[in-house]
Structure 1
Amino acid sequence: MAGPNKKHAQAEKKPERSSNGSSSDSRDPTQRSMPKSIPRLDGNRDPSFGTVVDYTRPTDLKNISEFLGLGGWYQARGDMMSYNPRHANISIDIDYQMTIPSALPQRPKNFNTFGKECGIMLNTFNITKTPDTIVHQYDVHFTGDAKDYTKRVLLKKIWRSKGVKAALGEPLNLWVWDGNKLAWSGKRLDRDDTRITVDLDDEEGRPTKEGQRGNKHTIHLRHTRKVDFNHMTAFLNGQATWSNECIDTINFFDHVMREWPSQQYTQIKKSFFQRGEQRFDLGGGVEAFKGVFASLRPVLDDKFNKSLSVNVDVANGTFWRTQELTRAVGQVFNCTPPQFQTRFKQARSDWKNSHLKKDLRVFRRVGVSTTHLKGEQVMWTIDDFENKDVNEATFPDPDDRTRQITIARYFKNKYNVNCMPGIPVVRMTKKIRGGAVYMPMDVLKIDANQRYNTKLSDTQTSNMIKFAVTLPKERWAAVQQGVRLLNWANDPYLKHYGLQVNPNAAKVKARILPSPAVHFGAGSREAQLKPADMIAGRWRLDGRKFAVNNKDRPIKAWGVCCVVGRGAPPPPAVATFFQKFVQIYESHGGLVSAHPQHGKTPWMGPGNLSDGGEMVQKVWNQTGNRYNIPPNLLFFIVNDRNIDVYRRIKKSCDIRFGVASQVLQAKHVMSASPQYISNVCMKVNAKLGGCTSVAKSNLIPKVAPKSASIPTMVVGADVSHPAPGAGSGEAASFAAITVSADPHFAKYWAEVQTNGNRVEMVTTSNIDEHFGFMAKNWMQRIGRGKPPQRVLYIRDGVSEGQYAAVLEEEVRDMKECFKKLGCKELPKFTVVIAGKRHHIRFFPDVGKGDRNNNPLPGTLVESGCTHPFEFDFYLCSHVAIKGTARPIHYQCILNEGEWLAPELQSFIFEHSYHYVRSTTPVSLHPAVYYAHLAADRSRAHMSDNPVSSGKKESKADQQSSTGSSSRNVEIAPLMAMQNARGLKEVMWYI
């Protein structure tokens, strides 16, 4: 399928490149280039088939995104860079000696041979036979009586109508349709341009009445090409470049795999849920049940062939419970009908801005059916809730159009139904005669099998974890059950088109990488972890001292605020806890300065939440008065895990006073467990400039002897978005960047800022201000005035369609920062994408894993589920506390630093032992993990609810070409942290 022609592609690329220039006059630093404009067909008239389907929109490729890689995305979007796996080192010089490669780094010729070999079963199933018949592809367009031909429900109804099926020759000739604008058939229609007209009213036995809009629709089918399976084979063998023909073939494979399951089960993207499956109640009107996930992808398979494979895994779906809408509302708000009536009455004075209206948004787009019509159900979709009840909402009386009738009276007269007063009426998405349709809440029932899209509450999340977490043995049984549900051997579409899948899973030879030597501080009873602890993935801190203590920031003036209220610990319990804290902190090498008068006892006093931000002000003042110097550490003991209370405390400490703070739960203070106190000590030590341990590589000196002498900076970044649901369209995204702050890569600085609404790429202004600040710090404190020779940039969670944007925008902007700092020679960047949202799981041979048969820390897989050409790998660096371990997928998308594969793999694995607040290796590289923590902590710094005497900053309108937000949303920047005492120099976010 042809993308834009060359001239069009060039025209579109020009403004994009110029807007990325370094001149501050050329653009707003918060903005990036706008997305390319894409010509759209007008569905209300006869389509002119000028081009075949256009893949320039990322959403058109979301189902096959795993296939494309950098070159595939360039090809799909009509860029002039084309991908050939044999020409992987070609680069295109953009500007300022910054090169953007035309292809991703290729898989090294040799696999990692270090460590022990281990047999691993993967939840991937190889394609053993691809079609050898001719398949014809058709472009599909709909026209007719409907006003909107973007509604999938309508299109599906037309496509599946009897008239269309008969005209297409089904069931003898099985068609595959993508639900939008492409269809495939093994038989060519008589004409290249075919039109099929169907009258849905006639088919349903109710002809259109005079004066009503008709229900006739025409499907226009145009033959566009034959699917080229040979080109796909040549591409996988490295004998052909990326082409739109390849994308077409992949698209066909993806849809033919999903066609039959989608007709049998409830489909949500690539997951299928069997109707009638056992439900698990999560609370709040939401339930969960299990399904099967299936995704087709190209791989370097377990026989080292470049081929296709199907990834099968368990899918855990959340759905609305099928029940009366009033009951669901009661469960969501945890109230009775009279209590809900009271809440509605209180909210009506300012309905538009009320919390109730905002919280009711969770029901938007939920499908409901009426219950007042005996023997007949009419289906509707909720649009919103009105500031009227059934006695106030009116519409034209059907019996007398000259007057209005209330909903309550109409339902009483027409159906003898007494509607509940004092609750909002429901407005539907559908209009009748151009007017809004209102329905009483108590005659509606939520339809079955509807996905719940909003973020789960804490209770629901806890219940979901209990439901979803399963040990490897149970998960593998669920995968096998999923394979039985998919039933490939009897899939009529796979049979019809000649596609076969091996029902036996792929098995690969993995490597368990050598563990590093994890060192603690001098004077430790055991200064290095024993091999048994390394393999077990857990150890104790008893008798060990911190690798780096708080010698530059000893605890001097410190205070403890115990928040009063139910469950608060008594003063003696608080005093006992902090006596133990001093004892254990000092046993780990932490420094607590003795005051001439007060010794090592902190100021302790009560705090009242009703004081708001002034509670922290009082603690600050009283602690400072006691010691006659500004406090450098404050503790707060809270009674429960209330995120609002936590953020209020952090906001005051970080923004107003710039003081390190630690929040404790009352129940832990009263139990005063030594292990809990040790965990607190690790966090306090990091907030005062220390770190827990240092990992030294046993392998990298052998693999890359010069590595240790090359000045290297590690950078992590994460952009977190608001959870879907109420208000997410106006909520901020947060961009967090971390930079290694010592030669051992054990400590990290972190900077966070708002990043527009759902903008995925870190904006230029954020990189310029925040990364630039830390890069300058690094050069002054670690580089001795010089920049690093290489930068390892680990970016969390971007899709393949955004790899090019990471290089063209984020990396380019980071290099520009070094240029502004006066660096004559720019650092060489190696960029690695860390992905967690995948469905690959490792199942070791029995007896070769841990006690739950999860993989051991350091398990590396380079085949069976990896890309056919590109440099990627799956690494399980941690021990799963519960459930089945999820490895991290690392993909190298730029390697200017020329890291060798074993060097990079070991570096990432070994640093998982550096995480300062746990006595385990972690699943994700700490640079990214810390970015997650910093982004979450920074939510307390939002300026929409400032602390008392805090000032609201001006709003910044941030936008990116790679963001999903289609409109400008004003997002306020975070309030600046108080750095007078150097809070930003330490790990404040831990």
Structure 2
Amino acid sequence: MAGPPKNRPNAEKGGTGSSNSQAASGRDGTQRSTPKSIPRLDGNRDPKIPEGRAPADYSKATDLKNISEMLGMHGWYIARGFTIPDGFVTRPKKFNNQGKEISVKLNTFNVLQAPSTTVHQYDVSWGKTVDPTKRQLVKKIWASKAVKSALGEPQNLWIYDGNKLAWSGKRIEREEIRLDIDLDAEENEARKAAGQEPRAARGRENKHKIYIKYTRTIDFGHLDAYLAGSSTGSPEVIDSINFLDHLLREAPSQNYTQIKKSFFQRGEQRFDLGGGIEAFKGVFASLRPALTNDYKKALTVNVDVANGTFWRVQPLARALLQAFNTNDLPSIQARFVKAKTEWKRSLFRKDLARFKRVGVTTTHNPKNPQQFTIDELCGKDPYETIFVDKDVGEISVAEYFRTKYNKNLTRNVPIVKMTKKIGGRPVYLPLEFLQIDPNQRYNSKLSDQQTSQMIKFAVTLPAQRWTAVEHGVRLLDWQNDRYLKHYGLKVSQTASNVKARLLPSPKVLFGGTGPTASVPPKDLIQGRWRLDGRKFISSNQRDILSWGVCFIGGRGALNKPQVDAFITKFIQIYESHGGRINPKFGKQPHIMEGNLARGGDMIADVFNATGNKFQARPTFLMFIVNDRNVDVYRRIKKSCDCRYGLVSQVMQSRHVATAQPQYISNVCMKVNAKHGGATCYTKSDVIGKVAPNHNTIPTMVVGADVSHPAPGAGSDSAASFAAITMSIDSSFTRYLAECNTNGNRVEMVTTDNIDKHLGNMAKKWMQRLGRGLPPKRVLYIRDGVSEGQYAAVLEQEVRDMKECFFKLGCKDIPKFTVVIAGKRHHIRFFPDKNYQDRNGNPLPGTLVEAGCTHPFEFDWYMCSHVAIKGTARPIHYQCILNEGEWSGMELQSFIFEHSYQYVRSTTPVSLHPAVYYAHLAADRSRAHLNETVVSSGKKETKAEVRPASSSGSSKDKVEIQPLIPLSNAAGLMEAMWYI
């Protein structure tokens, strides 16, 4: 998201920034700022770095990647040159004092001394022969003898970010250094010095230009003033933090394999994930300004375990076989031959795309191995691939290798095209003479089996994780880091210990009376209780009347007596929890066997047969499948959701066969919620004290999440999905949800999606709860955005939501309070033994407001759940707008306590349910894509093609079709269909 082209902006100057002082009435009152204050540019992917030698300007999207994390929303406004908005949310003066004070160790290490010397910043740019995205080439040029000599190294220790910025404690004499570097000449000079023969000329020059231009001087006084509270922040503060973050990483990047802010020690023990991929552990380190454990504003370093996936070092041919989980080369050859007929559309070609940009070394000439980067595996074999040789003219790759190297190549395997060109022509090499280079990250999506293995590898208990953190600190070796010593940065070797709070658990109420009507306090603190003997707080509003069960035949299938036995138990347990099954036609469903080969017709068979038995339109179908096949699951959901408009439940045969009561109770919670019920309700002993008017203010809770396609083949044209949820009762136990596609990797929920889906749900809220009026306040909890996108949430999404209420005819626009919920961070809690569970994790309600939080903004970390495996990851919440005037303790308690009333579990969950439900809905909406599911049969639902939304994130416009809408024939859109 690029801001206006301001150079070195002053945050105190007026501009087009947002303001809370605008009138609340009328059209203008619905907007926090002018609509174009932040252009709609996808924040997920920065555009390609343009040529030129302009100095780094943080108001440009291309330079935002140079800014370190944890600058907060305030810092990002400054970086882009925007005026800080009126009503900017700062940390409440009073910390949360509810519950118990406890001690929690964090994986943060305070900076004891920051540099006091002057540091000069330089812009690095390149000649036309250098593609800045080719990191290896850029590193070679920067490390060349010519560059090092011109910069005065090793006497001067330079820091380089690998992209556009460099720093030095010494000012170069000229404003700009321009150098010509001949990498081949330097390499041959080194080979000659080592007694080796120089390499033969490659047919092209390996000469490049580099420009190093002085841009500005970093004065750490601005950072000191900012942390002391005497300055509101400035671009100079960002300069300082950015430099220090790169300073911290310079030495580790030279000693270890670096992936962003993580470092992996070469030679570490590998863990095989299968498919030619392996995992090993490293260390993550990131510097940030923080409110420290002693409540001072200072810098701290977050250190954590990093888990990386890498290509195994082996011949490319073997990696190809492993990628397809086979040792049978003829089967790969057969697939290749078949795929060639429609190469561009073939799944085989898409699967091969995972090898794109993998570095390899040639092995056909051991005396002269050469390194290349794979561009693609092509739809021709070595005998079909022709190139022009300077000596013989046109020749196939196979013939060239036979005549020059006496090597016979394999037929019917893809030829490998490289990114490098010689004489302007592409380079093709046979895959059997290529070796995958070491220490290369695997960027594609892991398979289900690989993911399972990765979880086993990555999951560690808190004690083990803390040992790994200490090991990481030793690897970083701050005390002996020559760069830290040179610039005067000192980091404590002792981790932060903070005073945290263990918030009081709410009362969790069920239906009925007696001891089962509430959960004992000890179970609430431990974060787990049983459903046995308890009745739902709200039974299904719509009776189950006309319902059917389909058990799918085939391998692993159940027989009808097993299904009958399960259904008998299900009815018994569901009714024991208060669920209602209308006995008008008998309580037993219609049970029949289904055949997957019939595709969509199988669902039609069940629907029609059920309707015929009960002489009524079916309202509920159950399906018993034989495995976790996602295509089968989505096929069923697509038909039920979009074609028939009824709720459905899919179960695995292995669970149905055992028919454990606890499993059936879990199914009952979902079935009850889908039919209008709720599992439990929380009653607070805290909120009424800290906010006496809380229950008298009509409040709506809205959650939103945008999920993106997994990296890898096809992700550049696949849809992102936006889901919006909305509370629809006064107890906030039930939520509506609507979804749609959201372009390709567009992070902000589009205006069209907000208008259509939020507007539709808001009408229902006003009719049911508001008596025709909107709520007084909206708590909007947004998931999945980085700090760099906080401003866009306000400037785009909240603006559009206010406009949506205006379009609904609301005279008084609700007051918005916006909270960002983040999981992608590396903060972990290590509490005292008295306040941890049996695995060493924090108890639900552990709240941390210092040691790792922003110095001035209103954020906190909270662990509201119990981790089943490994080390619990707290949620980072940040309030970025508070028009609704929630107090800090009111907001924190509200979010924590509602985690206990998630409708499909008997534990508190990690996220507020509004966001959790948005996750579920976004994932389920993938079944509603306007395309035929693999092996979907003849009659899958497919909507008419409507105007597609386009993505602003791709190089070329990507047209994304809307989802097939839900059928509301049986009121599906009123139900929690996504549970």
TM-score, L = length of structure 2: 0.93
| Residue 416 (str. 1) matches residue 419 (str. 2) | no
Q: What is the one-letter code of the residue matched to 1:583? A: Q
Q: The residue matched to 1:813 in structure 2 has which SS?
A: helix
Matches within 5 A, 1:225-624: 225-335=216-326, 336-401=328-393, 404-523=394-513, 525-550=515-540, 552-596=541-585, 599-624=586-611
Find the partner of 2:753 among 739, 745, 766.
766
CA distance in 2: counterparts of 1:835 and 1:868, whole angstroms: 18
Residue 34 of structure 1: how far off its partner (Å): 5.7
Residue 949 of structure 1: how far off its partner (Å): 6.2
Q: Contact conserved, 1:953 with 1:972, CA < 8 A, in 2?
A: no
CA distance in 1: counterparts of 2:478 and 2:866, whole angstroms: 34
Q: What is the one-letter code of the residue matched to 1:568? A: A
Q: What is the one-letter code of the residue matched to 2:921? A: A
Q: Contact conserved, 1:739 with 1:749, CA < 8 A, in 2?
A: yes
Q: The residue matched to 1:547 in structure 2 has which SS?
A: coil
CA distance in 1: counterparts of 2:120 and 2:7, whole angstroms: 27
TM-score, L = length of structure 1: 0.92
Determine the structure 1 residue equivalent to 2:828. Answer: 841
CA distance in 2: counterparts of 1:133 and 1:356, whole angstroms: 57
Structure 1 residues 372 and 259, CA gap change in structure 2 (3 angstroms):
same
CA distance in 1: counterparts of 2:212 and 2:604, whole angstroms: 71
Q: What is the one-letter code of the residue matched to 2:580? A: L
Determine the structure 1 residue equivalent to 2:72. Answer: 69
CA distance in 1: counterparts of 2:39 and 2:171, whole angstroms: 45
Equivalenced residues, count: 952
Residue 734 of structure 1: how far off its partner (Å): 0.2
1:210-246 per-position Cα deviation (integer Å, ceiling 9, x unaligned): 9955444443333222211001110112212322211
Determine the structure 1 residue equivalent to 2:63. Answer: 60
| Residue 682 (str. 1) matches residue 669 (str. 2) | yes
Q: The residue matched to 2:479 in structure 1 has which SS?
A: helix
CA distance in 2: counterparts of 1:639 and 1:129, whole angstroms: 61
Q: Contact conserved, 1:135 with 1:185, CA < 8 A, in 2?
A: yes
Q: What is the one-letter code of the residue matched to 2:666? A: N
Moved more, 753-762 or 795-804: 795-804
Find the partner of 2:971 among 982, 986, 990.
982
Determine the structure 2 residue equivalent to 1:157. Answer: 140
Q: Contact conserved, 2:620 with 2:647, CA < 8 A, in 1?
A: yes
Residue 147 of structure 1: how far off its partner (Å): 5.2
CA distance in 2: counterparts of 1:748 and 1:618, whole angstroms: 31
CA distance in 1: counterparts of 2:636 and 2:657, whole angstroms: 21
Q: What is the one-letter code of the residue matched to 1:121? A: K
Determine the structure 2 residue equivalent to 1:94. Answer: none
Q: What is the one-letter code of the residue matched to 2:268? A: E
Structure 1 residues 769 and 55, CA gap change in structure 2 (3 angstroms):
same
1:894-924 per-position Cα deviation (integer Å, ceiling 9, x unaligned): 0000000010000000000011111100000
Q: Contact conserved, 1:135 with 1:187, CA < 8 A, in 2?
A: yes
Find the partner of 1:113 among 83, 94, 97.
97
Q: The residue matched to 1:592 in structure 2 has which SS?
A: coil
Determine the structure 1 residue equivalent to 2:885. Answer: 898
CA distance in 2: counterparts of 1:727 and 1:38, whole angstroms: 19
Matches within 5 A, 1:751-762: 751-762=738-749
Q: Contact conserved, 2:9 with 2:78, CA < 8 A, in 1?
A: no
Q: Contact conserved, 1:16 with 1:33, CA < 8 A, in 2?
A: no
Structure 1 residues 159 and 7, CA gap change in structure 2 (3 angstroms):
closer
Residue 264 of structure 1: how far off its partner (Å): 0.3
Q: Contact conserved, 1:525 with 1:543, CA < 8 A, in 2?
A: no
Q: The residue matched to 1:625 in structure 2 has which SS?
A: helix
Q: Contact conserved, 2:10 with 2:234, CA < 8 A, in 1?
A: no
Q: Contact conserved, 2:539 with 2:580, CA < 8 A, in 1?
A: yes
Matches within 5 A, 1:693-732: 693-732=680-719
Q: What is the one-letter code of the residue matched to 1:305? A: K
Determine the structure 1 residue equivalent to 2:122. Answer: 138
Q: What is the one-letter code of the residue matched to 1:494? A: L
Q: Gaps (5+ residues) in structure 2?
A: 20-26, 190-197
CA distance in 2: counterparts of 1:41 and 1:380, whole angstroms: 23
Residue 477 of structure 1: how far off its partner (Å): 0.1
Residue 58 of structure 1: how far off its partner (Å): 3.8
CA distance in 2: counterparts of 1:740 and 1:38, whole angstroms: 35
The CA RMSD over aligned residues, in Å, is: 2.7
Find the partner of 1:181 among 142, 160, 164.
164
Residue 174 of structure 1: how far off its partner (Å): 0.7
Residue 965 of structure 1: how far off its partner (Å): 3.4
CA distance in 2: counterparts of 1:807 and 1:299, whole angstroms: 24
Determine the structure 1 residue equivalent to 2:24. Answer: none
Determine the structure 1 residue equivalent to 2:23. Answer: none
Structure 1 residues 933 and 980, CA gap change in structure 2 (3 angstroms):
same
Q: Contact conserved, 1:764 with 1:813, CA < 8 A, in 2?
A: yes
CA distance in 1: counterparts of 2:118 and 2:940, whole angstroms: 73
Q: Contact conserved, 2:931 with 2:942, CA < 8 A, in 1?
A: no
| Residue 166 (str. 1) matches residue 149 (str. 2) | yes
CA distance in 2: counterparts of 1:168 and 1:188, whole angstroms: 10
Matches within 5 A, 1:648-659: 648-659=635-646
Structure 1 residues 949 and 376, CA gap change in structure 2 (3 angstroms):
closer
1:674-700 per-position Cα deviation (integer Å, ceiling 9, x unaligned): 000000000000111101000111100
Structure 1 residues 949 and 919, CA gap change in structure 2 (3 angstroms):
closer
Determine the structure 1 residue equivalent to 2:192. Answer: none
Q: Contact conserved, 1:371 with 1:444, CA < 8 A, in 2?
A: yes
Q: Contact conserved, 2:950 with 2:960, CA < 8 A, in 1?
A: no
Q: The residue matched to 1:526 in structure 2 has which SS?
A: helix
Determine the structure 2 residue equivalent to 1:812. Answer: 799
Structure 1 residues 312 and 964, CA gap change in structure 2 (3 angstroms):
farther
Residue 847 of structure 1: how far off its partner (Å): 3.2
CA distance in 2: counterparts of 1:462 and 1:208, whole angstroms: 46
Q: Contact conserved, 2:727 with 2:734, CA < 8 A, in 1?
A: yes
CA distance in 2: counterparts of 1:829 and 1:120, whole angstroms: 33
Residue 770 of structure 1: how far off its partner (Å): 0.2
Determine the structure 2 residue equivalent to 1:190. Answer: 173
Q: What is the one-letter code of the residue matched to 2:67? A: I
Q: What is the one-letter code of the residue matched to 1:879? A: V
CA distance in 2: counterparts of 1:32 and 1:187, whole angstroms: 38
Structure 1 residues 884 and 949, CA gap change in structure 2 (3 angstroms):
closer
Matches within 5 A, 1:782-821: 782-821=769-808
Q: Contact conserved, 1:314 with 1:482, CA < 8 A, in 2?
A: yes
Moved more, 687-696 or 150-159: 150-159
Find the partner of 1:928 among 911, 915, 933.
915
Q: Contact conserved, 1:759 with 1:965, CA < 8 A, in 2?
A: no
Residue 68 of structure 1: how far off its partner (Å): 2.8
Moved more, 712-721 or 192-201: 192-201
Moved more, 620-629 or 243-252: 243-252
Q: What is the one-letter code of the residue matched to 2:345? A: N
CA distance in 1: counterparts of 2:143 and 2:133, whole angstroms: 16
Structure 1 residues 425 and 675, CA gap change in structure 2 (3 angstroms):
same
Q: Contact conserved, 1:368 with 1:382, CA < 8 A, in 2?
A: yes
- Identical columns (%): 62
CA distance in 2: counterparts of 1:488 and 1:956, whole angstroms: 56
Q: Contact conserved, 2:56 with 2:63, CA < 8 A, in 1?
A: no
Q: Contact conserved, 2:866 with 2:872, CA < 8 A, in 1?
A: yes
Determine the structure 1 residue equivalent to 2:944. Answer: 953
Q: The residue matched to 1:641 in structure 2 has which SS?
A: coil
Q: What is the one-letter code of the residue matched to 1:142? A: W
1:260-317 per-position Cα deviation (integer Å, ceiling 9, x unaligned): 0000000000000000000001111111000000000000000111000000000000
